[in-house]
A and B are shown apart, each in its own frame.
Chain A
Amino acid sequence: DAGVTQSPTHLIKTRGQQVTLRCSPKSGHDTVSWYQQALGQGPQFIFQYYEEEERQRGNFPDRFSGHQFPNYSSELNVNALLLGDSALYLCASSPRGAKNIQYFGAGTRLSVL
Chain B
Amino acid sequence: KNQVEQSPQSLIILEGKNCTLQCNYTVSPFSNLRWYKQDTGRGPVSLTIMTFSENTKSNGRYTATLDADTKQSSLHITASQLSDSASYICVVSGGGGGSYIPTFGRGTSLIVHP
Chain A: residues with CB nearer than 8 A to chain B? 4, 35, 40-45, 48, 56, 58, 88, 90, 92, 99-107, 109
Contact = CB atoms under 8 A, between A and B. Distances in A.
A43 B101 contact: no
A43 B104 contact: yes
B93 A107 contact: no
A101 B44 CA distance: 12
Contacts of B31: 100
Bin chain B's interface residue count.
20 to 34
A105 B104 CA distance: 16
Interface in B78-92: 89
Interface of B: 4, 31-32, 34, 36, 41-46, 49, 89, 93, 99-107
B97 to A, nearest CB: 10
Interface of B, helix, strand, loop or mixed by DSSP: strand
Contacts, number: 52
B41 A42 contact: no
B43 A4 contact: yes
Contact of B105 (A42, A58, A107, A109): A42
Contact of A107 (B34, B43, B104): B43
A105 B102 contact: no
B32 A100 contact: yes
A106 B43 contact: yes
A45 B101 contact: yes
Given A58-B101, A100-B32, A106 B44 contact: no
A109 B41 contact: yes
